[in-house]
Amino acid sequence: MKDGKATPDPTGTAPGRPVAPRSAFAYRAFTVLWLATVLSNIGTWMHDVGAGWLMTGMSPSPVWVALVQTATTLPVFLLALPAGALADIADRRRMLVIVQFVLGVVAAALGIVVYLGAASPLLLLCFTFAMGVGAAITMPAWQAIVPDLVPRDTLQQAVATNSVGVNISRAIGPALAGYIITAIGQAAPFLINAVSYTLVVAALLWWRPQAGTERKLPPEDLLGAMAAGVRYAWHSRPLKSTLTRAAAFFLFASAYWAMLPLIARTVLGGGAQLYGVLLASVGVGAVLGALILPALRRSLRSDRVVALGTIGTVLTLLAFATVRNPVVAAAASFIAGASWIAVLTTLNVSAQVSLPQWVRARGLSIFVTVFFGSMSAGSLVWGQVASHLGIPAALFAASAGALLAIPLTWRFKLQQGDSGGLAPSMHWPAPVVDASMSHDRGPVMVTIDYHIDTSQSAEFVATLDQLSEARRRDGAYAWGLFEDAAQPGRFLEYFLVASWLEHLRQHERSTVADRDVQQQALAFHVGDAPPVVRHYLAPAAGSKKPNGSSFA
């Protein structure tokens, strides 16, 4: 959907069963928004080319040119998490309409400033940063609405179609920008981009999403929602593995994104049109890469696809560092695009299969934070290296780092999640409590009393260790397991939750996979009666002495 340069493609879920290649276009809402965002993304790419080329004209310093990339990506690094929390608790459509309108106004203002000849390097960075803020706010919401546009069994194809759309715009926008800058003037790409935002606003106003499931519990506050997202990511091994692999790739791949304007102007001695051709070659490579990616995935595991894409990126960096022929540089850009889409899409899907619906936007915002944080840090690093040692040295260093990252991060496996197990299970019965219970009472301590055959204690403890991750992901801030010193085989599991409301949310957040682990734990319990579950509350405010209550 509508996004900036090198943005992860919006996704909705894990890979599902094979569907018809054009099945996503059978749904009018998806088709209308897809067309609007492709046209608008063409405007975004024209804007990016115009900003990068304008900076090379005002200040050819590698640091200033790299700062354009940093100003684009840094806001996403800083704001993606609160934006993801907002997308999970607010009206996504309304939020998108407002922010897209504001972005159109900002783009128009930049075009006017450039047309009047009042632009400066610092002012350009300020406008670029403002555009980055808007992209940061809307990015998780764009990702989260995809499941509202197509049925679940079509989501994977919708992801691929979005990927193709992003890269069609990548192929058209830069080349068009190079021609327009030469034929009309430097301000034209910014003004055209401003008009392009109106297409997305119109499409969003036309779209009428179906009403979602009515919430039984009050919505989370922004800070609480952010904390829940971070807590989930911290205790999710599949997501952490994906984030590690993402950081290891994007930190080094950012080198050619940051240096490409200078490669076109300084290394190759070209103009705006050559820069547009190089970016268009990246886009064409990405489109073709997206088309062959399904076949590639059928023969290679996700980890190998990412390794192959990383090697392609290394070859690209080496070509840019050593070759002075524009044709070879365009061919290298083509390889860069195919490699980029292979890695980016694989990592994005890996993040998707790690996330249940209730935390999807927040989890994806953390993925986006790592993505743009790595891109921002890399742009700064490679800009500094290029300033002191030259552009080829920076590209050589980045290629060496990317190659070394493959074996160093190989143990962090991708797509460990089970998409089918992330559906809400709704198996956890509501606790029986005093009718006067207040939602804000807390902290809450939940205990479960198990009786286990001592010969199975080791297996039981291993299973409870898995269950502890689910408890923490869904809301517990502390967890423990103890064995009775006087009665071997009697275990007490406990976990602490911030409030009674947060514990009720745990019941809603429990997934099919969590239920399966809980059933494995219960299978160890011996006796006719199930394990005893108790809920303890901290003393109510104003109590003169401890009066902890327990409710079965």
Please state which of the ranges 36-45, 152-161, 457-466 shows the lowest mean pLDDT. Answer: 152-161
Mean pLDDT of 529-541: 84
What percentage of the chain exceeds 70 in pLDDT? 86
Estimate to the nearest angstrom the gap between the alpha carbon of 130 and the chain centroid: 20
Position 547 confidence tier, pLDDT thresholds 50, 70, 90:
very low
> Which of 94-103, 152-161, 205-214, 322-331 is the most confident on average?
94-103
Answer with the residue of higher pLDDT: 428 or 504. Answer: 504
Give yes or no for residue 232 having a pLDDT over 80: yes
Predicted pLDDT of residue 460: 93
> Could you tell me the CA-to-CA distances from 509 to 56, 359, 427, 475, 519 in Å, in that order?
50, 9, 10, 9, 16
Mean pLDDT of 456-467: 92
Give yes or no for residue 8 having a pLDDT over 70: no
Q: Which two tokens stand for residue 394?
A: 């920076």
Whether the Cβ atoms of residue 229 and residue 359 lie closer than 8 Å to each other: yes
**Number of CB atoms found within 10 A of residue 455's CB:** 8
What percentage of the chain exceeds 90 in pLDDT? 25
Predicted pLDDT of residue 548: 39
Mean pLDDT of 229-241: 89
Give yes or no for residue 401 having a pLDDT over 90: yes
Predicted pLDDT of residue 262: 82
Start-end ranges of CATH 3.30.70.100 in the chain? 424-551
Instruction: Give CA–CA dist 386/382, Å, rounded.
Output: 6
Whether the Cβ atoms of residue 276 and residue 188 lie closer than 8 Å to each other: no
Instruction: Give CA–CA dist 123/117, Å, rounded.
Output: 12
Predicted pLDDT of residue 420: 53
Mean pLDDT of 211-219: 64
Start-end ranges of CATH 1.20.1250.20 in the chain? 23-210+219-421
Right CATH for 424-551 from 3.10.105.10, 3.30.70.100, 3.30.1280.10, 3.40.1160.10 = 3.30.70.100
Predicted pLDDT of residue 435: 56
Which residues lie closer than 8 Å to 243 by C-beta, 6 or more apart?
233, 351, 366, 367, 370
In single-letter form, the type of residue at position 13 comes to T
Query: Can you tell me whether residue 443 is helix, strand or coil?
Result: coil
Mean pLDDT of 274-280: 81
Answer with the residue of higher pLDDT: 307 or 261. Answer: 307
**Number of CB atoms found within 10 A of residue 517's CB:** 19
Mean pLDDT of 36-54: 84
Instruction: Give CA–CA dist 245/250, Å, rounded.
Output: 9
Whether the Cβ atoms of residue 156 and residue 326 lie closer than 8 Å to each other: no
Mean pLDDT of 502-529: 86
Instruction: Give CA–CA dist 60/68, Å, rounded.
Output: 12
Q: Which two tokens stand for residue 237?
A: 């091994």
Predicted pLDDT of residue 422: 67
Please state which of the ranges 132-141, 242-251, 478-487 shows the lowest mean pLDDT. Answer: 132-141
Cα within 13 Å of Cα(501), Cβ side: 12
Predicted pLDDT of residue 474: 87
Position 479 confidence tier, pLDDT thresholds 50, 70, 90:
very high
Predicted pLDDT of residue 243: 94
> Could you tell me the CA-to-CA distances from 528 to 26, 101, 157, 250, 508 in Å, in that order?
54, 63, 49, 55, 28
Going by the DSSP 8-state scheme, the letter that residue 394 receives in this structure is: H
Q: Which fold has domain 23-210+219-421?
A: Growth Hormone; Chain: A; (1.20.1250)
Q: Which two tokens stand for residue 475?
A: 């809301």
Predicted pLDDT of residue 213: 53
Computed over every residue of the chain, the mean pLDDT equals 82
Predicted pLDDT of residue 323: 82
Q: Is 532 left (phi over 0), alpha (psi -120 to 50) or beta?
A: beta
Give yes or no for residue 98 having a pLDDT over 90: yes
Predicted pLDDT of residue 377: 86
Position 106 confidence tier, pLDDT thresholds 50, 70, 90:
very high
Predicted pLDDT of residue 244: 94
Mean pLDDT of 287-316: 87
Q: What is the pLDDT of residues 411-438, one digit of tens each?
A: 998 876 555 566 656 666 666 665 566 7
Predicted pLDDT of residue 44: 84
Cα within 13 Å of Cα(490), Cβ side: 7
Burial class (CB in 10 A: 0-12, 13-18, 19+), 408: exposed
Instruction: Give CA–CA dist 93/71, Å, rounded.
Output: 26
Instruction: Give CA–CA dist 130/383, Å, rounded.
Output: 21
In single-letter form, the type of residue at position 50 comes to G
Whether the Cβ atoms of residue 499 and residue 443 lie closer than 8 Å to each other: yes
Answer with the residue of higher pLDDT: 471 or 162. Answer: 471
Please state which of the ranges 276-280, 406-410, 540-544 shows the lowest mean pLDDT. Answer: 540-544
Which phi and psi (to 5°) does residue 258 adopt? Answer: -70, -35
Give yes or no for residue 464 having a pLDDT over 90: yes
Answer with the residue of higher pLDDT: 542 or 61. Answer: 61
Give yes or no for residue 156 having a pLDDT over 70: no
Please state which of the ranges 214-223, 313-322, 533-542 shows the lowest mean pLDDT. Answer: 214-223
Burial class (CB in 10 A: 0-12, 13-18, 19+), 323: middle
> What pTM value is reported for the model?
0.74
At 111, which helix (H) or strand (E)? helix 92-115
Give yes or no for residue 21 having a pLDDT over 50: no
At 512, which helix (H) or strand (E)? helix 512-523
Query: What single string gives the DSSP state of each residue in 168-202?
Result: HHHHHHHHHHHHHHHHT-TTHHHHHHHHHHHHHHH
Position 406 confidence tier, pLDDT thresholds 50, 70, 90:
very high
